[in-house]
Amino acid sequence: MAKTYLQSLLGEREKIVLVARQHWFILVSAIFLELSAILILLAVTVSLAIYLTPYALIIVALGFALMLLPIATMTRDILDWSSRQFIVTNRRVMQIAGVFNKHVTDSSLEKVNDVKMGQSALGRIFDYGDIEILTASELGVNLFRRIEDPIGFKTSMLNAKERMEYGEAHPETGEDIPALIAKLGELHRQGVLSEEEFQQKKAELLGRL
C-alpha cells in the first residue's frame, strides 16, 4: 500500500497519536461568500433567460461562465481546509498545510516548554479554540488557530511528552522514581544522555517525590 504524505514524514518507530483539523466553522466561513455568489448568479441567469427568451442561450452560457470563478475558489478553500492537519506523534507535534506545495512545521515534544489554549464563548459551545505551543527552538512559538477539540489535542500532546520523557510506565509513587533514576544513570554512562540532560531529568524526577 502506498504511503500517505504524513506517513512519509514519520521517523523510525515514530507513531501517530492524534490527527486533528481546523474546525468546520473555518470551512463554512470560507465558502459562504462563494456559495452566495453562485446562488445569486444562478437566480439572475434564470430570471434573465426567462424574460429575454431570444437571448436565453447566450445568457445561460454567460451565467455559467461567471459561476466558474466562485466554484473554483470554493474548491480551493475546501482543498486547503482538508489538506491542513495538526498531528501529535510520540516524538513531536506537526502542522501540515498545502495541497500541492506542502509546508510542514514541527516541534519536538522534548523542546516544548509550555502550551497555552484559548477558547471564546462560541468556541466552548462548538468545541474549537487556539493552541499556542512555546518551545526552546529558534521558531519559539507554534500557533494552531481554531483547531477542533483543543482540550483533547492539548491533553494528547502533554501525555505524549510525558511518555517520551518517563517511558510508558507513568511514575505515580515515590517507589518507581529511584528505578527511573537508575535507568537514567545507565543511559548517562552509555553516553546516550549528556551530564546536563541527566541532571535535568534527575531533578524532574526528584521533584515528583
pLDDT by residue for the chain (209 residues), tens only, comes to 457 888 888 888 899 999 999 999 889 988 999 999 999 999 999 999 888 888 889 999 999 999 999 999 999 999 999 999 999 999 999 999 998 899 998 888 888 888 889 999 989 999 999 999 888 765 556 889 899 999 999 999 988 888 887 665 444 444 467 777 877 787 777 676 778 877 887 787 777 66
The answer to whether 64 touches 2, Cβ cutoff 8 Å, is no
Is 169 exposed, middle or buried (CB count within 10 Å of its CB: 0-12, 13-18, 19+)? exposed
The answer to whether 66 touches 98, Cβ cutoff 8 Å, is no
Nearest to 161 by CA among 89, 87, 85: 89
Residues whose CB falls within 8 Å of the CB of residue 55, separated by 6 or more in sequence, listed in order: 49
Q: Name the pTM for this structure.
A: 0.69
pLDDT value at position 186?
76
* Dihedral-angle region of residue 112 (phi above 0 means left; psi in -120 to 50 means alpha; beta otherwise): beta
pLDDT value at position 169?
47
pLDDT value at position 13?
84
User: Percent helix, strand, coil in the chain (nearest 5)?
Assistant: 55, 20, 25
Is 11 exposed, middle or buried (CB count within 10 Å of its CB: 0-12, 13-18, 19+)? exposed
Pairwise CA distance, residues 28 & 147, whole Å? 14
